[in-house]
Amino acid sequence: MVKWRLRFLAISLLLAPTTGSMAQELSEADFFAELPEVLTASRLSQPLMDAPNSVTVLDRKLIEATGYRNLSDLFRLVPGMYVGQEKGWFHNVSLHLADSFARRMQVLIDGRSVYLPSFGGVRWDALPLAIEDIERIEVVRGSNAASFGANSFTGVINIITRHPEDVAGRMLHLSGGDHAHQEGWFRWAGQGGAASHRITLGRREDGGLINQFDDERSDILNYRGDYALGGGESLSIQLGYLQGERGSGDSITLSDLPHDQHVKSYSLQVDYRRMLSGDREWMLKASLDHLLTREVSPAAFPPVLPAGSYSLLDLLSRRWHVESQLNSEHAAGLRSSVGAYLRRDQVQSDYYFNVADTLSADSWGVFGHLEWRIAPEWLANMGAFLEGYDTVGTRLSPRLTLHWQPSSRHAWRLGMSRAYRNPALLETYITTIKDFLGPNGVSLGLPPTQPYFVAAGPVDPEVLLSQELGYLGKWPEHGLDLDVRIFNEKISDLIDASCTSPATRTCSGIFPINPRRFDNIGGAGQKGIEGQLKWQPSALTGVIVNYAAMDIDSGINDKRYSPSQQYGLHVMHEFSGGLDMTLSHYWLPAFNPIGQGDLHGYKRLDARLAKRFRLDGSNGQIALVWQNLTDDYIEFSDDKLPNGTPYNLFDSRFQVNFQLEF
């Protein structure tokens, strides 16, 4: 009853008249104002029609219109993208090949990789970044290893943050709602001389899913400074820091009682740019990413097990990276980008690797891309990435696309590429003993001491051969944009956990006789289509329709690792009086993520109602956000409690967001 009173009060405040003049009405370009150029597909700034891959752009207006507070939820707006939650704080974002850690897609923040060298994938909850500091997100749909190397296997997400000059002033954001959700953010940005700065402080809390111990608490600091050095030189420095706790464990197994996981994450990124003569630009990037997770023994553990026995589960992931890039325009219609990088990945965990020392793996790469305007209607993109990695040797990832652009309204693209995914360090070196150890490393004998995972030694990289046909069409007189990608892909040497028994490829039971190991388990063929239609019937209304379908031909156990079809419908409208509404509907059929159980299909409806206002010369906004107005559904895993209740049940939830820029 209290919950519904809160919602009624919030709606009443939202619909009430406000003092001061109303915010200026949205212009015709406010919804679906397509960015003229994208940066991620080839490392060159290109019009969307010239890019060698299909690219979905989530701009600032669209990000704000969703009302989503979890960064991962934004990717529900991308055709073919699967988003799920294994815990309230553990998010999975996959473009095809869904598994727990989404190991086959590269994620960048301003060009800096945040891919974890330990498990692979991304810990979305540990990124020290506020949604309000994101300018746009570019999602490359399809293999992009020719531009960003191994692990850009099925696609790339590049999160581009806001320049301090674009957000000068102060911002206060407050959010609260169901499931103990609370957020508070403060941002200051300003300019002094040739330098501009942006600093954001925030705290985020959430109660997680209804049947899990998965609450979240995070304190976050983010800084960006941009410096004009003169003479065509500039420098950008970014710092991020996050620390907090995550609820983990369950009450089902003795081996994982409810407890806290401490998380500490920080990053440093330095970008230097210099304009050279002859339309050339040289860029130098250096970065460090660090993530430490520490399992804290639950208070209920003693006297069953001594305090401190969880300390061996600490996991450290660290990545050092430096790269150089030169962009050149050689003649009208002929441009190139060339560069190289050096990287060191480090991991440390007594439990996962059965050693106390830090494990390291070094890699290097050289890359190049050439864009050639052969004729007014014809364009070619050619690129390749040569990369060496300690555990697997050297591989070459090439790409070639040919574009036919008969007019400024229509563009066809035919492309071929080859990509690799290097195994994460855990897939190569994991050696776990399924036993509890006391503070002195002495076995407690619970349960029987035996290997649970054994190191298989180096496994071969996964390989993807891709052919695709892309189309972009525009009908401005009808307010229509269409983006379609048809693909045919062959994947070999897929890596997953298998049983060491020669008689079977699977293991069963909590403590199997035959331990598991990561191995190249087989391959798959994928054929599919992805499409997005944008329609703006008026200056105040926008509609996005997403559709994706894929047919999988595979001999591996998890043959349905991606949904066979996906639908998305997003409707946005501005009413008079500064009132905005957004409705988002998603539909997925049943499928089987890699390593998980069968998931039932679901439908989900999200909504946002927001009111913009002016207060003493400041811009403000209050928004009501509902997630999952339809039936409860299972997220990502079909695990159940002893009474049969789904463990990963996602119910409806409500939030109130307030923001003031002054």
More confident of the two residues 509 and 570: 570
Distant-in-sequence, close-in-space partners of 326: CB < 8 Å, separation ≥ 6: 280, 281, 282, 283, 337, 338, 339
CA distance 187 to 198: 7
Q: Which residues pair with 604 in a beta bridge?
A: 586
pLDDT surpasses 90 at 242 = yes
Q: Which of 172-176, 212-216, 312-316 has the lowest mean pLDDT?
A: 312-316
Please give the structure tokens belonging to residue 165: 């000059």
CA distance 591 to 636: 9
The one-letter amino acid code at 429 reads Y
Contact between 267 and 239 under an 8 Å Cβ cutoff? The reply is yes
Alpha helix ranges (H) inside 101-170: 145-148
Residue whose token pair is 């200051």:
188
pLDDT surpasses 70 at 2 = no
Alpha helix ranges (H) inside 393-433: 425-429
Question: Average per-residue pLDDT in the chain?
Answer: 87
E strand map for 143-258:
155-161, 169-177, 181-192, 195-206, 216-230, 233-248
End-to-end CA, the chain: 36
- How high is the pLDDT of residue 1? 47
Distant-in-sequence, close-in-space partners of 621: CB < 8 Å, separation ≥ 6: 610, 611, 612, 613, 657, 658, 659, 660
pTM of the entire predicted model: 0.91
Spacing of C-alpha 527 from chain mean position: 24
- How high is the pLDDT of residue 296? 81
pLDDT surpasses 80 at 452 = no
Distant-in-sequence, close-in-space partners of 197: CB < 8 Å, separation ≥ 6: 164, 189, 190, 191, 223, 224, 225, 226
- How high is the pLDDT of residue 356? 80
Nearest to 648 by CA among 3, 213, 252, 256: 213
Nearest to 369 by CA among 160, 149, 152, 111: 149
- How high is the pLDDT of residue 177? 96
Q: How far is CA 534 from CA 52, 126, 244, 569, in A?
A: 21, 33, 39, 10
Rounded percentage of the chain residues whose pLDDT exceeds 90: 69
pLDDT band, residue 434 (cuts 50/70/90): low
CB atoms within 10 A of CB 256: 16
Query: What average pLDDT does range 645-650 have in this prediction?
Result: 87
**pLDDT tens per residue, range 298-316:** 654 444 444 445 566 789 9
- How high is the pLDDT of residue 511? 45
The pair phi, psi for residue 134, each rounded to 5°, is -95, 125
Long-range CB pairs of 97-100 (<8 Å, 24+ gap) are: 97/154, 97/491, 97/561, 97/562, 97/594, 98/561, 98/562, 98/591, 98/593, 98/594, 99/496, 99/561, 99/593, 99/594, 99/595, 99/596, 100/593, 100/594, 100/595, 100/596
CA distance 424 to 359: 12
More confident of the two residues 310 and 94: 94
CA distance 381 to 415: 9
Q: Kindly tell me the burial class for residue 164, based on how many C-beta atoms sit within 10 Å of its own C-beta (0-12, 13-18, 19 or more).
A: buried
**pLDDT tens per residue, range 59-82:** 999 999 999 999 999 999 999 999
Judging by DSSP bridges, how do beta strands 106-109 and 155-161 pair with one another?
A: parallel
- How high is the pLDDT of residue 4? 45
Q: How far is CA 377 from CA 335, 402, 415, 457, 544, in A?
A: 17, 11, 17, 50, 29
**pLDDT tens per residue, range 487-529:** 999 999 998 887 765 544 445 544 445 677 888 888 999 999 9
Please give the structure tokens belonging to residue 141: 């749909």
pLDDT band, residue 256 (cuts 50/70/90): low
Degrees, nearest 5: CA angle 207-210-213: 60
pLDDT band, residue 33 (cuts 50/70/90): very low
Q: Kindly tell me the burial class for residue 453, based on how many C-beta atoms sit within 10 Å of its own C-beta (0-12, 13-18, 19 or more).
A: buried
Contact between 460 and 491 under an 8 Å Cβ cutoff? The reply is no
CATH, domain 2-661, list 3.30.9.10, 2.40.170.20, 2.60.120.10, 3.90.700.10: 2.40.170.20
- How high is the pLDDT of residue 410? 97
Contact between 657 and 625 under an 8 Å Cβ cutoff? The reply is yes
pLDDT band, residue 27 (cuts 50/70/90): very low
Q: How many residues does the chain have?
A: 662
Judging by DSSP bridges, how do beta strands 134-141 and 112-113 pair with one another?
A: unpaired
- How high is the pLDDT of residue 253? 57
Query: What average pLDDT does range 266-283 have in this prediction?
Result: 95
Query: What average pLDDT does range 150-163 have in this prediction?
Result: 96
3-state helix, strand, coil in the chain (%, to 5): 10, 55, 35
pLDDT surpasses 50 at 87 = yes
pLDDT surpasses 70 at 255 = no
pLDDT surpasses 80 at 12 = no
- How high is the pLDDT of residue 29? 41
Q: Which of 307-316, 387-396, 408-417 has the lowest mean pLDDT?
A: 307-316
Distant-in-sequence, close-in-space partners of 194: CB < 8 Å, separation ≥ 6: 227, 228, 229, 230
Query: What average pLDDT does range 36-49 have in this prediction?
Result: 92
